[in-house]
Structures are given as C-alpha cells and as structure tokens.
C-alpha cells in the first residue's frame, strides 16, 4: 500500500522566512516599548535626568561587552564580519566617550543610585550574554540596535529639555543603527543556517531580559536595599 498520499505534508519554511517572521515580532515588541515612553513635556527635570542617567549607566560600559560576547558565540563566517564592523565603529569613533559627553551636557551623568536602579536587570543581560548562545544573542542585539535607532529622537528631546545642545550621540546613532540592525538580521540568518537552535529553544530569552532592562531605564524601579 502506498501511504504517501495519506501523509500530511507540513509546510517547510526557509531560514529567511523564519528570520522575516522573527523580525516582524521584534518590530512589534519595539513598537510597544516606544508607545510606552512618557511625554518629555510632562516630565520633571529630575525624571528626564533619570532616564538619561540610567541609559548612560547601561550603555557606556556594556554595549561593547554585549557585542563582543555575541562575536565570541557565533560560528558563521558570514556573521563575524558584521559584528566586527560594528565593534570597529564603536571603538574607532569612541562611542562611549560620545555617550559620556551627551550625558554630562544634559546634567545627567549617572550617580550610584542610577547604577543601582538598573543593577538587577543589567546583571540578567550580562549573565545571558555569558551563556554564549549565538542565535539568541544575535537576536537580542538586532532587537537592541533597532530599538536604539527609534529611541534616539526621544533621547534627544529629553536632552534638549535639559538645556543641552550636545547631540552628536543621538544624531550618529539615529542614522547608523538602521544599517546595524539590517546587518544583524543578516547575521542571524547566516547563523541559523549553520547553527540552528533546538526546536524547544526560547529564542527570545535575551530579548525579554533586555526588554526588562529597557523598561527599568525608562520607568525606573523601586529598590529594596538588597543587591543580589
């Protein structure tokens, strides 16, 4: 008996189709975060300062670490040059210094309180990167680059409301992160082709950790005095 005709054939999706679907999901997550941003005009000086300070406390000393951890994790030769180009730009143009100038000019350089506010969520992201999971790390970084690109106009509005005219950081990242995001999704496709995750893998583990950190940057957190 020929059983072929009785067998239900499940649709087969290409890697690019999977990545396109993932990218649509990421864009939806980003839309939700952007929609949750409070109106800068309704914020006090201290509230605006807090958002900029917490963002700086996270980005200045961690972004290069996250990208480097992702580079260490990937296996695809097509993905590595994309990550290296991003890191080269970060170091060559001294983006951490650019970030520091931006925060200082906005009277928003981080205090120890700002650092402690983001401590737990930042730790979660660091520990996630330390797992060296290539596909999930690439997805997290693609999500973050896309979020940053859309967040820059808002961050600039906060700084201007603080009396700052030092906007090089937001001007640069509002443009370059468009290409960075596209590149990271290409890297994701290449890595998924070579090193596909197991079916039960939670691809969004890093995205969820980073989304929690972003929410704390924007909305703050209540500390209970304990550091775990």
Q: What is the pLDDT of residue 107?
A: 97
Q: What is the pLDDT of residue 177?
A: 63
Res. 7 pLDDT band, cuts 50 70 90? very low
SS3 content of the chain, % helix, strand, coil (to 5): 75, 0, 25
Res. 179 pLDDT band, cuts 50 70 90? confident
- Mean pLDDT along residues 94-101: 96
Tokens representing 224 are 């209970």
Res. 200 pLDDT band, cuts 50 70 90? confident
**Tokens 């940053």 sit on residue:** 148
- Sketch out the chain's domains with CATH numbers: 14-219 (1.20.910.10)
Asked if residue 87 has pLDDT above 80, the reply is yes
pTM as predicted: 0.88
- Mean pLDDT along residues 56-68: 96
**Euclidean distance between CA atoms 62 and 54, whole angstroms:** 12
């Amino acid at each position: 008996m020929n059983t072929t005709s009785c067998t239900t054939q499940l649709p087969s999706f290409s890697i690019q189709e999977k990545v396109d679907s993932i990218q649509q999901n990421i864009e939806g997550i980003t839309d939700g975060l952007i929609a949750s941003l409070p109106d800068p005009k309704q914020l006090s000086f201290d509230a605006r300062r807090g958002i900029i300070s917490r963002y700086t406390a996270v980005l200045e000393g961690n972004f290069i670490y996250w990208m480097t951890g992702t580079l260490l994790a990937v296996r695809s030769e097509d993905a590595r040059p994309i990550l290296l180009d991003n890191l080269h730009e970060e170091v060559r143009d001294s983006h951490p210094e650019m970030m520091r100038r931006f925060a200082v000019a906005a009277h928003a350089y981080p205090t120890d309180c700002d650092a402690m506010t983001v401590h737990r969520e930042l730790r979660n992201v660091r520990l996630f990167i330390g797992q060296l999971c290539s596909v999930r790390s690439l997805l997290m970084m693609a999500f973050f680059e896309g979020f940053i690109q859309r967040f820059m106009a808002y961050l600039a509005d906060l700084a201007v409301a603080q009396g700052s005219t030092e906007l090089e950081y937001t001007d640069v990242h509002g443009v370059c992160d468009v290409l960075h995001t596209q590149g990271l999704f290409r890297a994701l496709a290449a890595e998924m082709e070579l090193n596909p995750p197991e079916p039960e893998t939670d691809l969004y583990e890093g995205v969820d950790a980073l989304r929690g950190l972003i929410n704390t940057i924007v909305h703050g957190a209540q500390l209970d005095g304990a550091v775990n």
